[in-house]
Amino acid sequence: MLTARGLDTLGNAAPAHVESVRHHFIDRLAPADLAALEQIARRPEQAEDDSGE
């Protein structure tokens, strides 16, 4: 459960977190690496589609 104060804290931290992840991780990947990461990230969704859930 997240309190209103916790949600505000999370909302305030999110932009800096996203920028840091982009700078330290995403921006350092080659286009082929990003494509592979996207394919991996879709697997749980594909598994749900295959199982009919």
Question: What single string gives the DSSP state of each residue in 1-49?
Answer: ---HHHHHHHHHHHHHHHHHHHHHTGGGS-HHHHHHHHHHHHHHHHHHH
pLDDT digits (tens, 9 = 90+) for 8-19: 999 999 999 999
Q: Measure the CA–CA gap between 44 and 53, rounded to whole angstroms.
A: 11
Instruction: Please tell me whether residue 19 adopts helix, strand or coil conformation.
Output: helix
pLDDT digits (tens, 9 = 90+) for 26-49: 999 999 999 999 999 999 988 877
The count of C-alpha atoms lying within 13 angstroms of the C-alpha of 19, restricted to the half-sphere facing its C-beta, is 5
pLDDT at 53: 64
Distance of CA 49 to the CA centre of its chain: 20
